[in-house]
Each structure stands twice: as structure tokens, then as C-alpha cells.
Amino acid sequence: MRRPHLLITSAGRRAKLVEYFVREFKDGQVSAADCSPLAPALYMAHHHYIVPEITHPDYIDHLLELCQQQQVTALLSLIDPELESLAAAHDRFETIGVTVVVSPQEACALCFDKYAMYTHCVGQGIAHAKTYHTLAAFQEALALQEIDFPVFVKPRNGSASIAVSRVGSLPEVEHLFDQSEGLIVQEFLDGPELGVDVYVDLLSQEVTSIFIKEKLVMRAGETDKSRSVVRADVFELVEHVLEGTGLVGPLDFDVFDVDGTLYLSEINPRFGGGYPHAYECGVNFPAQLYQNLQGHINRPAIGQYQENRYMMKHDTVTLVSAAQFEQSNHNKT
């Protein structure tokens, strides 16, 4: 078995996560890629590469070439918008010996479409906020008193909390629908929000880890402060939700506790921005991924972490010399 060489794409600001990978991939290598030489996480990896933007038509071809040149054995993306295209190219990477750590394309598509996720949950008997994908459907529900204000209006395919708003009146909802396309209206979930980090073993397809944090403060769409909690009802929900979905690898769930009923809000089929809390409490996904890439199965260890630990994110800085910066920029693939 070749020593794992992991390429983390769209590394961005996820410096802590890249550091964890470097620590856990003891005999392996960790590379990071981004379209900007000013992405700080690049400089935490053993090697880094500047690649085209993910929307570039040749992006996947560039990655394939880079993987071949650098003898990469596995690829992992940290952002939603490239998951589906990586999943679609899964076989092309497999042919050159690269494991793409991503769920199947249909599973990624389901997670990326908030209306599809709603209908999926209704079908599976999983509590989910009532969701409307047209203004007319929302107005009808309002007239039937199926739903009331406040509501949440957001893009059907959004991420990073961009354009998510809490709205208190119909004219405001109408105004938002006038301004943009592809919006949905959602029932307001009134209760504590939980962020759940899940690892599904790539080989056994079994859930091996579930870490729950109560979100205390959000900032720029990410959990900024949180507290670890252990709840059997959340563990059960996660196992139930995952049945038959094909989702694998690191996953990030958003769940609301509304008077004791758990509502699934969304699943991001990738590392969540709050994952450092899980790692620091002893839930080690990079080590599990390393084991999987070495052909070993991980044993389930659900709920084995420190409860009541508060996580606070904070600033740090990284400096690179002009020479290093130029070198990175110059090495564009």
C-alpha cells in the first residue's frame, strides 16, 4: 500500500484543520490547494499549490494532472460548491489511483438542495421545517394558517449563511423574491441549534463517530462559540437520517431542538467549520481517514468524548515572505 498523500482542495482559512491532518498523517503527506496564494491554510501543509477557481472549465482536469504529477493518493474538498463535480469525476480520479473522499453525486445533490432535503425528510418521517419553494405556495400556506411569521428566507442552494434572513412580514418576503431567484421560505425553528460532526467509515459504511455541540454564537456562517453535549436522541436521529443515503466520510449536520423535538435543518457532506471543537474533545476524523486510506476499517466509538467543554474561536496570523508568496503564485498549476 502506498503511503497516503492527501490533497485538500479549497483549503481557504481552515488552517487548524490542515494542521490536524499534518499531525495525524504521520507517515503520509498533506498538500493543500487554493486559487489564492493568500489562503492561510496553504502554509500549514507539507506542500501547497495554487489552482484555478473551482468554476474554471478545466478545474477538474487541472486537479487530475496535479494529482498525477505529485503522486497524490486521496483528495478532500472543504467547501460545498465543488463536491458534486468531484463526486461526478470520482471514477476518473480512481483510474489514476486517487480516492476522492466524497459522498456519491446524488447524495451531494440532495444535501445541496434545501427543498429536496425537505421533501426527503417528509418522506422519511424526519422532522424538518416546513419549506416552500415558490412565493405562491408560501402565500397559500399563509392563507391556510399552515405557517406564520417570522419565517426564514434563503437560497435553495445556499451555503455559508449567505443571503439568509429572518423575515417578519409578507411585503418583506415579496421584496426578497422580487430581488433574487431560487429562494425558499422556511418555518422559523425556535430552539437551540446543534452542530453535529459525523464520520461514516469509507470502507464499512458504518457511522463511527458522532460529536454534538450546542451552538452558542455564530459568526460569518460558522460556529464561533459552542459547548459539547452528549445526547442519545441525537445519535439515534443521525443513524436514522443516514440510512440508505450513501453519505460517507466527514459530514456536518445542523439540528434544532424545538421543545424536545429534533428537527434536521441540513447536512453538509464535508468537514464543518466547527470541527476543531470535536477534534479538541478527542474525536479524531483525520486519524480515521488515514486508517481508511491505509485499507483499515475504524470501529464505531459513538459518544466517546468530553462533555461540557466550551469552544471559542479566535484570531491568529501567519506571515509569508514576498519570496514565498511569489513562489506560490509562480507555481500555479
Ligand X SMILES: Nc1ncnc2c1ncn2[C@@H]1O[C@H](COP(=O)(O)OP(=O)(O)O)[C@@H](O)[C@H]1O
Site string for ligand X, 181-220 (x = CB under 6 A): -----xxxx---x------------------------x--
Query: Half-sphere exposure of residue 162, counting CA atoms within 13 Å on the CB side?
Result: 7
Minimum Å gap between C-beta 86 and ligand X is 18
Q: Among 113-121, 176-184, 248-256, 314-322, which window interacts with Mg ion (CB under 5 A)?
A: 248-256
- DSSP reduced 3-state for 165: strand
Residues between 261 and 300 with contacts to ligand X, criterion CB under 6 A = 265-266
Residue type, 316: T
Minimum Å gap between C-beta 254 and Mg ion is 5
Reading the block at residue 332, the C-alpha cell is 500555479
Site string for ligand X, 146-175 (x = CB under 6 A): ------x-x---xxxx--x-----------
Minimum Å gap between C-beta 295 and ligand X is 34
Residues between 242 and 261 with contacts to ligand X, criterion CB under 6 A = 254
Q: Please, which residue, 44 or 267, has the CB nearer to ligand X?
A: 267
Q: Please, which residue, 54 or 287, has the CB nearer to ligand X?
A: 54
Residue type, 196: V
Q: Among 60-68, 134-142, 247-255, 318-326, which window interacts with Mg ion (CB under 5 A)?
A: 247-255
Report how far residue 147's alpha carbon sits from residue 186's, in angstroms, rounded to the nearest whole number.
9
Residues between 183 and 242 with contacts to Mg ion, criterion CB under 5 A = none
Minimum Å gap between C-beta 255 and Mg ion is 11
**In what order do the strands lie in the sheet containing 249-258?**
261-268, 249-258, 193-200, 207-219, 222-229, 310-312
Q: Please, which residue, 267 or 283, has the CB nearer to Mg ion?
A: 267
Query: Half-sphere exposure of residue 287, counting CA atoms within 13 Å on the CB side?
Result: 11
Q: Which residues contact 317 (CB under 8 A, 6 or more apart)?
A: none
Minimum Å gap between C-beta 96 and ligand X is 32
Residue 221 engages ligand X in binding (rule: CB under 6 A): yes
Among all residues, whose Cβ is closest to Mg ion? Answer: 254
Among the listed residues 129, 185, 283, 302, the single contact to ligand X using CB under 6 A:
129
Q: Among 103-111, 253-261, 282-290, 322-330, which window interacts with Mg ion (CB under 5 A)?
A: 253-261
Burial class (CB in 10 A: 0-12, 13-18, 19+), 178: exposed
CA 292: distance to chain centroid? 19
Structural contact between residues 223 and 274, judged by C-beta atoms closer than 8 angstroms = yes
Q: Please, which residue, 110 or 129, has the CB nearer to ligand X?
A: 129
Q: Please, which residue, 133 or 215, has the CB nearer to Mg ion?
A: 215
Q: Please, which residue, 201 or 254, has the CB nearer to Mg ion?
A: 254
The H helix count followed by the E strand count for the chain is 12, 15
Query: Half-sphere exposure of residue 186, counting CA atoms within 13 Å on the CB side?
Result: 24
Report how far residue 48's alpha carbon sits from residue 328's, in angstroms, rounded to the nearest whole number.
8
Task: Report the chain's terminal Cα–Cα distance, integer Å.
Answer: 27
Minimum Å gap between C-beta 201 and ligand X is 25
Q: Please, which residue, 5 or 270, has the CB nearer to ligand X?
A: 270
Task: Tell whether the torsion through CA atoms of 150, 151, 153 and 159 is positive or negative.
Answer: positive
Q: Please, which residue, 35 or 160, has the CB nearer to ligand X?
A: 160
Reading the block at residue 262, the C-alpha cell is 429534533
Eight-state DSSP code of residue 188: -
128 binds, among Mg ion, ligand X, none (CB under 5 to 8 A by kind): none
- DSSP reduced 3-state for 203: coil
Contacts to ligand X by CB under 6 A:
129, 152, 154, 158-161, 164, 186-189, 193, 218, 221, 254, 265-266
